[in-house]
Amino acid sequence: MRVKNLFSVATGAFLVFLSLLACSIVLAEESDVISLTKDTFKTIVEPEKLILIEFFAPWCGHCKALAPEYEEAATALKAENIKLAKVDCTAETELCAEHEIKGYPTLKVFKDGKASEYNGGRKANLIISYMKKQALPARTAVNIENFDTFKDSDDKVVIGFFNADDQKEFNIFSQISEELRDDFVFGETGQKEVITKAEVKPPAVILYKKFDEGKNVLEGTFTKEELTSFIKKNALPLLAEIGQDNYASYVDSGLPLAFIFYDDDEQRTDLGKEIEPVAKEFKGKVNFVFIDATKFGQHADNINLKQTWPAFGISLPDENLKYPFNQSKEITTESIRDFVDKFVKGEITPSIKSEPIPEKNDDSVFVLVADNFESVVFNDTKDVLVEFYAPWCGHCKKLAPTYEKLGEVYKNVKDKILVAKMDSTENDLPPKAKFQIAGFPTIKLFKAGDNEIVDYSGDRSYESLVEFLDKNAHNKVDLESSTPEPSSSKEPAPTTTAVKDKHEEL
């Protein structure tokens, strides 16, 4: 009897296991994301008015992180009749090559079979919002029946109010709605009942938003620049968390960006209480954001702050200018107000990180630092070839012996052509350098005379570097007596190592 009971229990457990396994298989198959292959791609995609496709690789970490967000968005968008699909590029190599997929994940929006780049975020709510905007016309006609529903249809909705004689402003509004349709929902109206209900005098534009004061109003005549600035500056919250999904929006606003670094929720709350009054006072002049130091702590280096928390600093991303708040001082409402006030008035000079100028600089490759960059590079008499590198960069280490050989050959003519390098992890570019370094190594030629900058994009062989200087340098030199035997091998086409570390990047 006992054996029989045990057999019954074991059999029951096994049946439960099979049942659970069957359920898991069914659940695994029940996805609202359509899997596409070369054979099904055209038949599924081309008939759709709108569809979003993710090109991915199963081993890709970013793809794995996107997967649940993408699935959630696909389920939510079913109600809008907007489909989401995916292509496994490890299985569909030919299909992915046809669509010029260079990295993973790559998302593309297809409208009637025609592809365009996806410029939205990677969280479910951001994917949903972006695709809903794509389904709408650039502008929606607003009337008294749909006004309330429409102005609350998204986190940020822009409505223009016009009379018959406001053609100039209407044309500007129409143009802006086309340019910014990926980021905002636009509506337009000339109906008197709506204008009365909105309590505006045309021409007028209202930005309705589900945060802060709820709406911003622009009344009277405006230029394209004024309308663009009005929308972008008011579309950002007073104090919000910054991350990979919204960093570009803050940069695009054109305002200085004040970072509040914190490493736990309690610290974030305390800092918010101190800084919120300052953020309100300088709204429209400086954007304030929280930044999680446990994820993005390395970004403090980009503002010349030490990685100790809390910390505060202001940056001008487009100009690569940095204004770190003194970390020996306490972050209080008064201290931050004083710092931001002086910054806005132009009373604070930007911080430029630099290694000491070398006492001796007679090696084959000249060592540049921030403090001697302008005097050496921006001159009238010599061409200067500069490698911007990072000590940890594998591609830079591989280039080093070739670059040293190049410097040795040009050493005897360094009064005409100087071969130099700069550690970009320890030295900032001065304000006069109107460019930023996006990856390592980056090689640029600063020409004598007019200081024109020429980017090097050839392979990283000795021969190609010499050929580049022969072709592009302002000064012409004879290397016949000093050139060593050329290398018989060439390196592959160059790649650059993006600036990265153990923290996530913005």
Which positions are annotated as active-site residues? Answer: 60, 63, 393, 396
Q: How far is CA 444 from the centre of its chain?
A: 23
Cα dihedral value 451, 456, 461, 463, nearest 10: -50
Q: CA-based Rg of the chain, rounded to a whole angstrom?
A: 29
d(CA 107, CA 196): 43
Q: Pairing relation of β-strands 383-389 and 417-423?
A: parallel
E-state strands within 45-184: 51-56, 83-88, 106-111, 114-117, 140-141, 156-161
**Two tokens at 85?**
């699909």
Query: String of b and e for 121-142 (b: at least 16 CB within 10 Å)?
Result: bbbbebbbbbbbbbeeebbbeb
| Cα(186)–Cα(167) distance, integer angstroms | 17
Q: Can you tell me the distance from the alpha carbon of 151 to that of 207, in angstroms, rounded to the nearest whole number?
A: 9
d(CA 167, CA 171): 6
Q: What are phi and psi of 418, to 5 degrees?
A: -110, 130
**Is the distance from CB of 148 to CB of 208 less than 8 angstroms?**
no
